[in-house]
Amino acid sequence: MTFMFSSDNATFVRPSTFYITGLNNIPFAKYYYIFLCIVYVVTVVGNSFILSTIYLAHTLHTSKYIAVFNLALCDLCGSTAIIPKHADMFLFENQYISYENCLANMYFVFLFMALQSHTLLALCFDRVIAICFPLRYHSIVTKSTMTLIIGFMWVFCVTLVGLMIALITRLSFCGSTTVDSYFCDHGPIFRLACNDYFPNYMIGLVYILFVICIPLILIAISYAFIGFALLKISHGGERMKTMKTCTSHLILVSMFYLPIFSIYMSTITRSVPANIRIINSAITQIIPPMLNPIIYTLKTEEVLHSITVLYKKIMVNTKE
């Protein structure tokens, strides 16, 4: 079934549903989907634990942990936007999704991906100021400054992704409605349109530019400055201690940006097999949110100390 409506003498055809293909002709694909469900459970538990710890531990109410809290929240919401619907579609063969739900799914997946990227950039800002300008750190990176940065990120990302979705609504789908992806992906959907989708192609490039390329370039420049600052530290032990504060962030940056950057650049220059693109994109979007609580927070002395203090308080209250 399709719906037709007219606007300014133009007729638009909107399908009632899209069909999401997922992985094609791969044996034991259901085990992959079960793996995603396990990843989701670990992601929910881990990020919920970090959110609760930061909220309850007053010692973590600092500018840095405002960004860490936002990252954990975006990781949790981003995984929720993808995996439950993903499992419902492919484990129970319910691969049809309504037009409205498809746009909603697209909006939230791309919104939280953009917020994850920009939050990693905000955490990089925290590190570069802490290492390059240690004496001015507390005057520059204040709670109000970080809140303003996070707030601006939300407004920017909500506006950018909202524009992406608005441009989808001007498309007419008079042919195939089969989407070669694992969710309502922006590129595979606008390429199904039978009217001009050049504005959608351009907003897709703008999204890649502001969500992947520019943050990655700024992070690379920031770490160049950090590298120069580390060279000025004469004591080797102090240099290693300072480097360790960046290790977790660098691991997260590598896990998030490199796979998705490579696949997006590949899709711009040449055709990439759907299965390769699907697996690469899915792993990129679900693995970092699962590992974030382990890599970035649970290895931090501040967080471990706060968890110990909270545990002792709970044990005391339980005994009373």
Confidence tier at 6 by pLDDT (50, 70, 90): low
Q: Do residues 248 and 303 lie in contact, with contact meaning Cβ atoms separated by under 8 Å? A: no
Task: Over range 49-64, report the average pLDDT.
Answer: 90
Residue-wise pLDDT for 150-200, tens only, equals 999 999 999 999 999 999 999 999 888 999 888 899 999 999 999 999 999
- Please give the pLDDT value at position 192: 94
- Please give the pLDDT value at position 150: 97
Helix (H, G, I), strand (E, B) or coil at 98: strand
Q: Do residues 289 and 75 lie in contact, with contact meaning Cβ atoms separated by under 8 Å? A: yes
Task: Over range 238-261, report the average pLDDT.
Answer: 79
Residue-wise pLDDT for 267-287, tens only, equals 666 666 777 777 777 777 888
The contacts of residue 39 (CB under 8 Å, 6+ apart) are: 79, 83, 286, 287, 290
> What are the structural domains, with CATH classification, of the chain?
19-319 (1.20.1070.10)
Give, in order, the Cα–Cα distances in Å from 53 to each of 47, 194, 298, 310, 319. Answer: 10, 50, 11, 8, 21
More confident residue, 136 or 9: 136
Helices (H), 191-300: 198-208, 214-231, 236-269, 274-292
- Please give the pLDDT value at position 13: 82
Q: How far apart are CA 317 and CA 320, in angstroms?
A: 5
pLDDT at 265 over 90: no
